[in-house]
Amino acid sequence: MKALIISVDMGEPDFQAHSEEFLMLAQGAGALIVETIVVRRQRPDPAYFIGTGKLDEALGLALSGGAEVILFDQVLSPAQQRNLERRFELRVVDRVALILDIFALRAQSHEGKLQVELAQLQYLSSRLTRMWTHLERQRGGIGMRGPGESQLEMDRRMIGDKVRTLRERLARVQRQRTTQRRARSRGDTLSVSLVGYTNAGKSTLFNALTRADAYAADQLFATLDTTTRRVWLEGKGQVVVSDTVGFIRDLPPTLIAAFRATLEETIHADLLLHVVDASSPQRDEQIFEVHKVLADIGADAIPRILVYNKIDLLGYEPRIERDEHGTIARVFVSAFERIGLDELRAAIVDSGHIADTNAS
């Protein structure tokens, strides 16, 4: 589908990275980018987010490029989205809706699909409520009698009922996960979760460590469903390793809430392997964003090791780095080239006593 991207620079220092990331999201959703327009603003315009001058320019570019959809790299209010759609006479998709669309495209498991559907309905519900407030104030009257109001209430009720049903089904999945975790803890099995920014190479590393065949690709959100495998590590015995969904800056709060069941594997892990794309120019910012999300989901107190991946792109040698207390802080690996894996396995074994202490 041909798309015009509207990229808004609000003066943030990470605008370029934010813009490039949005482009990857668009391509991941299957968009064919016909044109990108950059708009610089200090604050959003209440009606269109961008000014009318740039809006007219964007209208011309959309028309000449044959755009079929407008992709907006900020979060739009329902009113802004509606106003833009009226001017463009095209569908306008903001950052949150685009991420939700990719999640819907990539979810494979029953649980993953439930979580995506829940997030989409919550997003739609908030839009539906706010979009109709200007009509609700009239409480009937011309144009609001009969099906006008009742249709709104019906839509709300249907969405509310569906959200409740999805939450109940996800709650059952969470209970099943809790039962599985208890069984693992009774068997004294170390639980390790791979976390990190999207496209850091978590799934490739997971496959290399566990000899699994989880889907891995050079794209944002290649993995949405948690995959778990058991591996045997000399000196530690059976270890359960889980691959989880990647994080991203400005991850919609509805997605964090909806993916709670998947992230349970992270919250209840004994050890986190924070996989970092060592070759990324935004490496430090990405580390910060992951730490922020871990704090949001209550996993910031879990022991973790930074795993600097893709060292083959930098010419680095695999190694282990320790902090001033002798605790393992960083491990340098290349999951693609399968180098540094022995060092990583040794680090997991060595960190086991930290995890055991933390759990007691």
For 244-258, write each residue's pLDDT tens digit: 777 777 666 666 665
Residue type, position 40, single letter = R
Residue 128 pLDDT exceeds 50: yes
Binning pLDDT at 50, 70 and 90, where does residue 117 land? confident
Structure tokens at 106: 């990539």
User: Whole-angstrom Cα distance, residue 251 to residue 77?
Assistant: 16
Q: Do 119 and 89 have their domain in common?
A: no
Q: 121 or 313: whose pLDDT is higher?
A: 313
Lowest mean pLDDT among 252-256, 268-272, 333-337, 338-342: 252-256
Q: Do 199 and 322 have their domain in common?
A: yes
User: Whole-angstrom Cα distance, residue 173 to residue 311?
Assistant: 37
Q: Which residues contact 286 (CB under 8 A, 6 or more apart)?
A: 196, 197, 200, 276, 277, 280
- Give residue 265's pLDDT: 62
- Give residue 142's pLDDT: 35
In a domain, 176, yes or no: no
- Give residue 13's pLDDT: 80
Q: What is the mean pLDDT of residues 209-219?
A: 60
Q: Map residue 226 onto helix, strand or coil.
A: coil
Residue 258 is part of which domain span? 184-359
Say if CB 249 and CB 21 are below 8 A apart.
yes
Residue 63 is part of a domain; what is its CATH number?
A: 3.40.50.11060
Q: Do 157 and 233 have their domain in common?
A: no
Phi and psi at residue 64, in whole multiples of 5°?
Answer: -70, -30
User: Whole-angstrom Cα distance, residue 291 to residue 318?
Assistant: 24
User: Whole-angstrom Cα distance, residue 254 to residue 63?
Assistant: 34
Q: Do 218 and 319 have their domain in common?
A: yes
**Given 59, 93, 127, which residue is the final one in a domain?**
93
| Closest alpha carbon to 25 in 105, 107, 119 | 105
Binning pLDDT at 50, 70 and 90, where does residue 186 land? low
- Give residue 250's pLDDT: 67
Beta bridge partners of 2: 32
Q: Do 50 and 125 have their domain in common?
A: no
In a domain, 13, yes or no: yes
Q: Do 204 and 154 have their domain in common?
A: no
Write the CA distances from 3 to 6, 14, 29, 277, integer angstroms: 10, 23, 11, 29
User: Whole-angstrom Cα distance, residue 272 to residue 290?
Assistant: 12
- Computed over every residue of the chain, the mean pLDDT equals 80
- Give residue 150's pLDDT: 53
Lowest mean pLDDT among 31-40, 163-172, 321-330: 163-172
Q: How many domains does the chain have?
A: 3
User: Whole-angstrom Cα distance, residue 50 to residue 40?
Assistant: 8
Q: Do 223 and 152 have their domain in common?
A: no
Q: Do 274 and 345 have their domain in common?
A: yes
**DSSP calls for 93-141:** E-HHHHHHHHHHHH--SHHHHHHHHHHHHHHHHHHHHHHHHHHHTT-SS
Residue 345 is part of a domain; what is its CATH number?
A: 3.40.50.300
Structure tokens at 122: 């919550």
Binning pLDDT at 50, 70 and 90, where does residue 133 land? very low
Q: Do 319 and 350 have their domain in common?
A: yes
Q: What percent of the chain has pLDDT over 70?
A: 77
- Give residue 351's pLDDT: 76
Q: What is the mean pLDDT of residues 288-305?
A: 86
Burial letters 187-223, b for 16+ CB under 10 A, else e: eebbbbbbbbbbbbbbbbbbbbbbebebebeeebbbb
- Give residue 28's pLDDT: 81
In a domain, 317, yes or no: yes
- Give residue 258's pLDDT: 58
In a domain, 11, yes or no: yes
Residue type, position 170, single letter = L
Binning pLDDT at 50, 70 and 90, where does residue 169 land? confident
Q: 150 or 137: whose pLDDT is higher?
A: 150
Lowest mean pLDDT among 13-17, 108-112, 221-225: 221-225
Binning pLDDT at 50, 70 and 90, where does residue 152 land? low
Q: What is the mean pLDDT of residues 283-308?
A: 88
Lowest mean pLDDT among 193-202, 214-223, 230-239, 325-334: 214-223
For 49-83, write each residue's pLDDT tens digit: 999 999 999 999 999 999 999 999 998 998 899 89
Binning pLDDT at 50, 70 and 90, where does residue 310 land? very high
Q: Do 200 and 318 have their domain in common?
A: yes
- Give residue 2's pLDDT: 92
For helices 147-186 and 110-136, the axis angle rounded to 10 degrees is 150
**Given 32, 58, 93, which residue is the final one in a domain?**
93
In a domain, 190, yes or no: yes
- Give residue 360's pLDDT: 34
In a domain, 292, yes or no: yes
Q: Do 56 and 196 have their domain in common?
A: no
- Give residue 295's pLDDT: 86
In a domain, 240, yes or no: yes
Q: Do 227 and 313 have their domain in common?
A: yes
Residue 311 pLDDT exceeds 80: yes
- Give residue 151's pLDDT: 56
Beta bridge partners of 243: 194, 227
- Give residue 359's pLDDT: 38
Q: What is the mean pLDDT of residues 96-103?
A: 83
Query: How many other CB atoms are found less than 10 A from the CB of residue 310?
Result: 23
In a domain, 178, yes or no: no
